[in-house]
């Protein structure tokens, strides 16, 4: 396996991990909002950040 292929595989793995982490964080934020651990403003901020991460992971 060439080093370019290894780097591509590592980058794909990082994007996948970032994507799954962002999805999990959004799910947790929803549960926190439902439990009133966070407010609507905090929830919206978390979702905005996670959506940006998800989009950047899917665009590559």
Q: At what angle do helices 40-59 and 3-34 cross, to 10 degrees?
A: 160
pLDDT tens digits, 18-37: 999 999 999 999 999 999 99
54 with 18: CB under 8 angstroms? Answer: no
Q: Residue 1's pLDDT band (boundaries 50, 70, 90)?
A: low
Write down the mean pLDDT value for the chain: 94
| Mean pLDDT score, 25-50 | 98
């Amino acid at each position: 396996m060439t080093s370019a292929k290894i780097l591509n595989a590592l980058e794909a793995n990082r994007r996948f991990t970032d994507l799954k982490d962002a999805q999990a964080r959004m799910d947790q934020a929803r549960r926190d909002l439902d439990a009133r651990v966070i407010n609507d403003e905090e929830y919206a901020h978390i979702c905005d950040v996670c959506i940006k991460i998800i989009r950047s992971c899917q665009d590559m």
